[in-house]
A and B are shown apart, each in its own frame.
Chain A
């Protein structure tokens, strides 16, 4: 079939329309024709579909550690700043081409990665971890001693034991929250220690499902901070890691598997 002259002109421009690169005047002329010509609209739709498929050929690549947290923290800031919740009404019938208009990222915008600068590179924190675990063990043992005192002595003695515990560990405070599954079942305890360094330490009454967990701390000011991941084996009954915030600033700590927070401790 022979193309009509106006169709031939429009179809020359179809690739640029589909890629969203057509110049304004050419685009306006072409859109006017597309509004009248079903065949050219089909041509444009097919080319747009093809270009969409080409976009999907780009290889995936993992961003740096903490990227997810940084994005979520940024979104929290946007939310706090009062970005309106758009009406969940579908947009009007789309124009024939649908590249999303997006203005540029201002150059030189301050990086937000500094928030996560405290995070040690993977594999370089074994000694630190041992220190944390040892400190946690000492503190928990002393806390347990304190609890024994509570059973036999009055509250003043308990307070004294608690102070002694913190004194020995050079800490300023120790608190705890139940670690619950999504169904609310309590399967362990998350201890949070304020000191140098501050840390959290989870104990499980029974080993959680084996596998790799991401551990995220949500602070009361809306920041999401990635903690040391947890590789749970069938014998894993504890996990610990340093935290970059004060214990009093913790909102919750979540163990995440396959995009889902499966265990969470809320400090309120």
Chain B
């Protein structure tokens, strides 16, 4: 079971196979919980969010489409959205973006493979190299789900400036990763 691909485990979960479901939860619990913690900053709330994320994944496993992205990002997107929604409903603030950014660029990772690690390290380095005025709005957009307008209000800068900074920051990251389309 441990050697099965993510897609296979998800397919097993879609058919309500208990072993595949358990293996899927074991494989991803630290990532899902890590994502929830990175946004809500409270272990108790993060565990609620992480549990709900697995329930959503279990319910919608059959609708996962590999053409839309990897299982990991599918699941982490569910987790992120739940974490953001939870904070909004509770009227609570997400984790300080600077703390989150520090965690993102720290390079502490868990179960990734060597090739994944090299790729992530490349991205971490690039993110670390971005000027804070570009990095912060990217983090607020990607992890806190904030619109450019919300970021502008929060940071006290014009909307156009926020959009430009995000675009330029993302362009630099893409350049570094070599994913610019020809």
Which residues from chain A sit less than 8 Å from chain B, CB to CB? 11-12, 14-16, 19-23, 42-43, 46-64, 67-68, 70-72, 74-75, 78-79, 83, 85-91, 93-94, 98-107, 109, 111-113, 224, 258-261
Contact = CB atoms under 8 A, between A and B. Distances in A.
Size bin of chain B's contact surface: 35 or more
Contacts of B181: 42-43, 46
Contacts of A23: 147
* Chain A at the B interface: SS class: loop
Contacts of A109: 48
A258 B111 CA distance: 13
A99 B80 CA distance: 10
Given A57-B123, A100-B74, A75 B21 contact: yes
A67 B47 contact: yes
B170 A16 contact: no
Contacts, number: 225
* Chain B at the A interface: SS class: helix
Contact of B14 (A88, A99, A259, A261): A88
30 contacts: A15-B166, A16-B141, A16-B147, A21-B148, A46-B180, A46-B181, A50-B170, A52-B69, A53-B119, A58-B76, A59-B34, A60-B33, A62-B29, A64-B43, A68-B26, A68-B29, A71-B25, A72-B21, A72-B25, A91-B64, A100-B77, A102-B56, A105-B89, A107-B89, A107-B90, A109-B48, A259-B26, A260-B1, A260-B2, A260-B23
Nearest to A75: B58
B67 A261 contact: no
Given A72-B21, A104-B89, A47 B141 contact: no
Given A21-B147, A99-B77, A74 B51 contact: yes
